[in-house]
Amino acid sequence: MHLLSFDPRAFRWSGIGPSDYKSGSGDVRGMSWTGVSRWVLASPETVAADYELRYFEIEPGGYSSLEKHRHVHFVVVLRGHGRALVGEHVHDLSPFDALHVPALTPHRWLGEGDIEPFGFLCPVDRERDRPQPLDDGEWDRLRANPATARYVF
């Protein structure tokens, strides 16, 4: 199938169902998350590319795991408003803003809308390492930084 039609009312693509965001609930320090859904638009099973393309959606008040990994992110916002902790910085994000998360940089995504979810496209290398929690030094540094402290939990 070539075309994945988009339904603007449902904000969903034809033939694409949700995948688990993570397999667990995140018991490790900082790895908790809530209100996150993942939609795989292009995977190795469907598209013969070195990348995958995922769409993530975070409910108002929801957040992803605070994590790092060697593979980078480069996301493009599609809907709503959100916030991202990336290293020592916090960014407010609106539709079509694009954000780079370099290798091994701690990051967390947060839904900041009133009603509308915060949604973004996230292409990612097909071959990639697993997310890992922050080490003690990173954790303490981000907790000591007034800009980032409230997102470190």
Token pair, residue 28, equals 């490790």
Out of 35, 60, 123, 131, point to the residue binding a copy of itself (CB under 8 A).
123
User: Amino acid letter at 103?
Assistant: A
Asked if 139 is part of the footprint of a copy of itself (rule: CB under 8 A), the reply reads: no
Residue 19 binds a copy of itself (CB under 8 A): no
Q: Is 142 a catalytic residue?
A: no
Residues in 30-89 at the binding interface with a copy of itself, rule: CB under 8 A: 41-42, 46-51, 53, 71-72, 74, 76-78, 86-87, 89
Catalytic-role residue among 122, 134, 142, 152:
122
Could you tell me which residues are beta bridge partners of residue 125?
51
C-beta neighbour count of 67 within 10 angstroms: 20
Residue 63, both tokens: 């957040």
- Tell me how far apart the alpha carbons of residues 112 and 129 are, in angstroms, rounded to a whole number: 28
Residue 125 within binding range of a copy of itself, rule CB under 8 A: yes
Q: How far apart are CA 5 and CA 29, in angstroms?
A: 39
List contacts with a copy of itself (CB under 8 A).
Answer: 1-6, 8, 13, 41-42, 46-51, 53, 71-72, 74, 76-78, 86-87, 89, 91, 93-103, 121, 123-127
